[in-house]
Amino acid sequence: MIPKKSWGLICKDCVEPKQIERDYSTWERDFITRENALLARDLSKNPEKYVVSMNMWEINQLTDIQPIDAVWIKSSCEPFCDEMELDEERKKNWLNRFQIKEHNAHASGHASGNELKLMIERIHPKNLIPIHTEHPELFNN
């Protein structure tokens, strides 16, 4: 999903593409025009088809997505400083606003190759996009 930037122009139909591009860093511009790029309004038409990853700086996009019957999976550690406590409170306010259920699923380690293979076999996804790996070619089978 393409995150809205400071000007919020990506969601406006009447804005010139060049103006929208200027709201993004140079390295991001290639991503906003890709075939598989999604806007919040696209996501909200068929939310059951998507899993969205967002951080605390992107959580305000919930206002554009308008989720219904959604789940937030928290996969990070518990807050251990004042700043993290404030972020946690802010997140909970957003989740409460949209009645989003929260589940914790944090694991501090990495899955082994065999564990990844078993998970992929059980889930049997139509598409698999390896990330955070030095050998994506191992996922071609």
What are the per-10-residue average pLDDT scores of the chain (141 residues)?
A: 74 72 84 84 85 85 88 84 91 95 78 86 91 83 64
pLDDT score, position 108: 63
Q: For residue 23, which of 37, 10, 34 has the smallest C-alpha distance? A: 10
The predicted structure's pLDDT at residue 2: 79
Using a 10 angstrom Cβ sphere, with 0-12 exposed, 13-18 middle and 19 or more buried, the burial of residue 34 is: exposed
- For the chain, what percentages of helix, strand and coil (3-state, to nearest 5) are there? 45, 5, 50
CA angle 135, 35, 51 (to 5 degrees): 65
Token pair 């989740």 is at which residue? 95
Model pTM greater than 0.85?
no
**pLDDT at position 12:** 67
Reported for 76-84, long-range contacts at CB under 8 A and 24+ positions apart, including other chains, are: 76/106, 77/106, 77/108
Per-residue CA distances from 83 to 15, 28, 87 (Å): 37, 28, 6
The residue to which tokens 């019957």 are assigned: 69
pLDDT reported for residue 9: 63
